[in-house]
Structure 1
Amino acid sequence: MTSTSAILSTAPIVGGILLVENKSMATLPLALQFVAMALTTIPASIYMGRVGRRIGFITGAVIGASGGILGAYSIASGNFLLFCVASLLTGCFNGFCHYFRFAASDVATKEFRSKAISYVLAGSVVAAFLGPTLARNTADVLPAQFAGVYLSLVAVYVSVAVVVSFIRIPRPLAEQRRSSGRNLSQIARQPKFIIAVCAATFGYLVMSFLMTVTPIAMGNCGFTFSHSSYVIQAHVLGMYVPAFITGHLIMRFGVNNILIVGALLCGASILIHLSGISFLNFLSGLVLVGVGWNFLFTGGTTLLTETYTAAEKAKVQGLNDFFIWGTISVGAFMSGAVQQSIGWNAVNLVMAPLVIIVLVGTVWLRFNARKSTRKPSSV
């Protein structure tokens, strides 16, 4: 997360600097990072299913460090194409590192699983602020502006590899590596799987779409960059601060109830955005969708862990994350154009059906779960 937030702060600017003539492609490196992340998810999961989480994370860190070195070199040499390749490599690292939440669930007891996933997300609170701070403090340390940012990321990736090398994460048993369990089509037909994937994917898409277009919408409404940056900062806090308690809430009230609340919060965010264009509308709406995302993403991940066996987890987790990051990649390409073409209110209306799908699906799942556990009455 530290490297991601640092890259988010600098990649579009670097792209604009390297593209002297055609600035329209300035965001291509950032988009390629999301594409690489999506394409890496399934291979990374299968790879870790064979060699173990620790070796997998170290491999991802090595790839990321290579991207950092290449990124610094491409900036220093003014080579946009190489910078795009560097973005692909750092995106591959992200494809690996997003499995930290599953690694936490692997070693946690069933009762503690939701807390473990939640605590991993909670660490992003620090990372979300550390990344931009790192970028600001290293942007001008080398003659080529921003080259220092990418060299500093090498240190981040190496630190990840060093820390992970000391963590004891059980390797897959030989029996698990030999057995693949049920086929994916059979697993994917489970209602729990469908709801888990929809909750995490749609929740992430709604959140990222609204977050991405909010600065544009606020600018169109006459607000300054300072206003929008404050809203985004509050939104990030809304995303990650609840992670300290989301796991506890899931244990206390059940994963389905937390998913329902998450969907309702996202729905409330949309209604607030549609009700006006004041600063408070933007601020409160984006904070609510941040909290809603946290509930949906943590809850969806927790629910997913109930849909597979140990032998099946690599392919199921890979498929789940491919759905999530593949969808986010498409959203990253489309968000700005959609906002400019149909406007802020229409963007919110387009997101509403996704929230409704998650809400209705989870309510149905909750109802059927209660129905199936109800004991038949004796005659």
Structure 2
Amino acid sequence: MSHAGTSPSFADEATDALARERGNVIRLTVAQALAGANAVVVYATGAIIGNMLAPSPALATLPISVFVIGMAACTLPAGRIAQRYGRRVAFLSGTGCGVLVGLLSALAVILGSFWLFCCATFFGGAYAAVVLSFRFAATDGVAPARRPRALSFVMAGGVFAGVLGPQLVTHTMNLWPPFLFAATYLAQAAVAALSALVLMGVRLPAPTPGEVAGGRPLGEIARQPRFVTAVVCGVVSYLLMNFIMTAAPLAMRLCGLSQEDANLGLQWHVIAMYAPSFFTGPLISRFGAPRVVAAGLALTAVAAMVGLAGIDVAHFWLSLILLGLGWNFGFIGASALVLECHRPEEKTRVQSLNDFVVFGTMAIGSLSSGGLLTIYGWDTVLWVSFLPLAVAVGALLATGWRKPAAAALG
């Protein structure tokens, strides 16, 4: 009798929890779509504005490198804010940086200030660091079996970012002559403000005393072989995507292709980065994260081979599409591995540490790609990418190919 009387209450609580999960995932997916346009705009325009304003051609990609440095520098502070005050506070702080990057970038173009533009892209990196935590936030309070799907569904919001970002550039780049891209940056600031409104509706669990305390020492967690593999594969997947994508728009221009060709290539690249997310989660659940990561690394290698095969628009576009697919499997698979390496109270610290290492290493690749491109050419950029791929494959082989037990996800 008593059991029958309490069942509806438990059922209602379960229904409410599931509705809250779905609502959070939907809002985070929409926010991912809006906020993801920030990175697309920076990558589409950063090297071009850098080439126009920089005191030396070798510094053309420095604004994008500063963007990546901003991502790396702000992942740990963003994680600390989320750990102490909750993820929503961190989200809104990030969108504030998103508005700021648009306003400062427009001002830098108007004033012709290269260093102000670099300062602006640093704030863009801070925004992107917070945006990347959306994927982990979607798994908060979610049953282990549903975590890969929640994570990958939020990442799928990047499909719309892949359309919104390049179209934003194409339709606004010349709206404020003679200030190329100034109107684009103002539009990007407005999109960031809209993302903040969406994020205000996210309902995530408040930090527990255990989460504020932080759990085990990070050194102990970081010594786990699976965590090392997750970090290495995440680093290589993102490093090579950024390394090649940073150089690609400028390489296309140097090869005589148009800005519209570069914009479309970037659009299809970003769509390829995120469109597979609708089924990456189920693939991880079925085959295990290591195998999905391995597929991503293989696709990245093929992307480099296609780029080496020619410099017409078809080769650039196909290479960028394959690069996007490889990033999706590699990075989401590595992110799923991270979820297996921590206890609930350790999540923000471990996830932030992972992202810090990923984006710190990625900054090195971004800094080097511009110099390699301008001094040695596009082929060198592609040939260099095979060395990190070999390191990641070695890490996977060292860890083994076994699919982890479901209990490990708890």
Common fold: TM-score over 0.5: yes
Aligned to 1:57: 91
Contact 2:342 2:350 in 1 (8 A): yes
C-alpha deviation, 1:214, in angstroms:
4.2
Residue 242 (str. 1) matches residue 276 (str. 2) = yes
1:40-92 deviations in Å (ceiling 9; x for gaps):
11111111111111111011112322333333344444444433332222222
Aligned to 2:165: 131
Q: Which runs of 5+ in 1 are unaligned?
A: 374-379
Residue 357 (str. 1) matches residue 391 (str. 2) = yes
Contact 1:261 1:292 in 2 (8 A): yes
C-alpha deviation, 1:138, in angstroms:
3.4
Aligned to 1:171: 206
Q: 1:144 to 1:90 in 2, by over 3 A?
A: farther
Aligned to 1:194: 228
Aligned to 1:376: none
C-alpha deviation, 1:321, in angstroms:
0.8
- Code of the aligned partner of 1:163: V
Aligned to 1:320: 354
The 2-side partners of 1:150 and 1:39 are apart by 23
Residue 99 (str. 1) matches residue 133 (str. 2) = yes
Q: 1:336 aligns with which of 354, 367, 370?
A: 370
1:213-250 deviations in Å (ceiling 9; x for gaps):
44566677x66336665544443332222111111111
- Secondary structure at the aligned position of 1:54 is classed as helix
Aligned to 2:3: none
C-alpha deviation, 1:202, in angstroms:
0.4
Contact 2:105 2:121 in 1 (8 A): yes
Q: TM-score, normalised by structure 2?
A: 0.79
Residue 41 (str. 1) matches residue 63 (str. 2) = no
User: Among the aligned pairs, what percent are the same residue?
Assistant: 35
- Code of the aligned partner of 1:277: G
- Secondary structure at the aligned position of 1:106 is classed as coil
Q: 1:30 to 1:208 in 2, by over 3 A?
A: closer
Contact 1:191 1:365 in 2 (8 A): yes
Q: 1:22 to 1:277 in 2, by over 3 A?
A: closer
The 1-side partners of 2:121 and 2:334 are apart by 28
Aligned to 1:157: 192
The 1-side partners of 2:322 and 2:74 are apart by 31
Q: 1:147 aligns with which of 175, 182, 190?
A: 182
Aligned to 1:304: 338
Q: 1:37 to 1:144 in 2, by over 3 A?
A: farther
Instruction: Report the count of equivalent residues.
Output: 368
Aligned to 2:44: 9
The 1-side partners of 2:221 and 2:104 are apart by 40
| Residues 256-267 of structure 1: pairs in structure 2 closer than 5 A | 256-267=290-301
- Secondary structure at the aligned position of 1:167 is classed as coil
Aligned to 2:218: 184
Contact 1:119 1:244 in 2 (8 A): yes
The 2-side partners of 1:355 and 1:368 are apart by 20
Q: Which runs of 5+ in 2 are unaligned?
A: 1-35
**RMSD value, Cα:** 2.9
Q: 1:363 to 1:117 in 2, by over 3 A?
A: same
Q: TM-score, normalised by structure 1?
A: 0.85
The 1-side partners of 2:388 and 2:45 are apart by 31
Q: 1:315 to 1:368 in 2, by over 3 A?
A: same
1:173-207 deviations in Å (ceiling 9; x for gaps):
12321x22211111111111011111111011222
C-alpha deviation, 1:212, in angstroms:
3.4
1:277-301 deviations in Å (ceiling 9; x for gaps):
3656555444333212111100000
Aligned to 2:101: 67
Aligned to 2:27: none
Aligned to 2:238: 204
Q: 2:257 aligns with which of 224, 241, 246?
A: 224
The 1-side partners of 2:287 and 2:169 are apart by 40
- Code of the aligned partner of 2:371: A
C-alpha deviation, 1:368, in angstroms:
6.0
The 2-side partners of 1:103 and 1:338 are apart by 37
- Code of the aligned partner of 2:339: T
The 2-side partners of 1:139 and 1:216 are apart by 17
- Secondary structure at the aligned position of 1:172 is classed as coil
The 2-side partners of 1:249 and 1:350 are apart by 30
Q: 1:364 to 1:31 in 2, by over 3 A?
A: closer
The 1-side partners of 2:381 and 2:46 are apart by 25
- Code of the aligned partner of 2:237: G
Contact 2:158 2:270 in 1 (8 A): no
Q: 1:32 to 1:283 in 2, by over 3 A?
A: closer
Contact 1:54 1:165 in 2 (8 A): yes
Residue 29 (str. 1) matches residue 59 (str. 2) = no
1:297-328 deviations in Å (ceiling 9; x for gaps):
00000010110112222221111111111122
Aligned to 1:90: 124
1:317-369 deviations in Å (ceiling 9; x for gaps):
11111111112211111113223444555444432232223223223433466
